[in-house]
Structure 1
């Protein structure tokens, strides 16, 4: 099996997985325990992806080999997740409660996968919530508190929530005026909300609004869209850490 079949093809998810986590680490005190936590986080995501694809293809594919190719990656990554995650759960039992909070969102994403409707707007928005919640988990593991983390977590939620409709206006829904108007309206509201969190966040969120308003319809390649989002994600990380 090729590497492309082992790693998820949802390239835009990696920034969403990494930026809130890194923000939580550096807002608190980086510790060695963050390494197995990061490994468990990424391995759990990949295992869940393959399990969801297995369910989806079992339902819709006439080729019995199609779902079967996801079994081995799901088992391998699931076992690796357990190796990294179980010792952490023993040392830090509160991580079990954090995982329980994420479980309903994972279950909803699994349901959308089973229905072969992974591209649904709500499904994307639901996936953003536990990813941004990892900021609080990483922060608490580093000795931080809820008071330290809720504003940065909300800033991440505002940004990554906006990427869901925005990316659709660039690719799958590029001809939809309703999606375009909805994306621009969301980014306008997000700008105001971010400015209330801290005025410094108005700077990157103004840029996010500008890109949501100006870039759709310009025929940008997918790679360029991805590169812009990487820059936007880094800008959010830097702004949150500095402020």
Structure 2
């Protein structure tokens, strides 16, 4: 069990961000066998990138060489497994190489922040959201759906998950910052307006996201409860996206 804990990334909030846009793309379009190995490659790739970032970060931030070294083997194993799943798909869907190339700059920015030991920076979190939400388009295209038809739901995902970055900070690391709370509420108010323009139905969940951003900070809610609320919010978004665009 301790080995599993060392190998599996401990950024629990990332799993919803990895899964929800992808599942939305699958369910909005037509499920296809190609989406299964693609999803596996996506998850394995995330695990590999996580350990690469930790290795890069700890090489500079820690005086203990073992701290960085323990991430090397997981990075190699997960990276090799991701390639083993992903490379054969290129023969069936060569356009995946374009998708990977478009995601690469965002990953490079995340590695840069890790090297500077600033993984928790607001900008770094926002950058990480973009390729994750872009996977909605990849999953939709893998199922034979039109990329243009996924732009609106992908933007809705981006509006929601970008909002989780400042909101979660108001609940944990910046829970005493009034500036962060106001900024989070202001963002969610704008996101509500933008979501309503995408579809009036999307105003319903985004109104709830605005309410939680305004009412929950400062109430002493524990980390597990914060995570549970975000899981519920993510599933709510998935349901609305499938209902509106499916």
TM category (shorter chain) comes to: over 0.9
Aligned to 1:53: 54
C-alpha displacement of 1:88: 0.6
Q: What is the TM-score with the length of structure 1 in the denominator?
A: 0.99
The Cα shift of 1:230 comes to 0.4
Distance 1:154 1:85 in 2: 25
The TM-score normalised by the length of structure 2 is: 0.98
Shift of 1:94: 0.4
Cα RMSD for the two superposed structures: 0.6
Distance in 1, matches of 2:232 and 2:133, equals 18
The aligned runs of 1:8-87 (5 Å cut-off) are 8-87=9-88
| Aligned residue number for residue 126 of structure 2 | 125
Where do 5+ consecutive residues of structure 1 fail to align?
none
1:144 and 1:83 mapped to 2: Cα distance? 25
Q: Give the Å deviation of 1:147.
A: 2.3
In the TM superposition, 1:42-191 aligns within 5 A as: 42-191=43-192
How far does residue 242 in structure 1 lie from its aligned partner after superposition?
0.5
**Range with greater deviation from structure 2 (137-146 or 202-211):** 137-146
Give the aligned partner of residue 208 of structure 1. 209
Q: Which moved more, 1:113-122 or 1:87-96?
A: 87-96
Aligned to 1:242: 243
Q: Residue deviations 1:169-207, cap 9 Å, x none?
A: 000000001100000000000000000000000000000
SS at match of 1:2: helix
In structure 1, distance between residues paired with 2:79 and 2:160: 29
Distance in 2 (alpha carbons) for counterparts of 1:31 and 1:228: 31
CA distance in 2 between counterparts of 1:147 and 1:35 reads 22
Farther off after superposition, 25-34 or 164-173: 25-34
d(CA) in 1 for partners of 2:154, 2:137? 7
Deviations 1:33-81 (A, max 9, x none): 1110000000000001101111111111111111010011001001100
**Unmatched 5+ residue regions in structure 2?**
none
Alpha-carbon distance in structure 1 between the residues aligned to 2:201 and 2:165: 23
Deviation >2 Å, runs of 4+? none
The CA distance in 2 between the partners of 1:130 and 1:64, in whole Å, is: 31
> How many residue pairs are counted as aligned between the two chains?
243
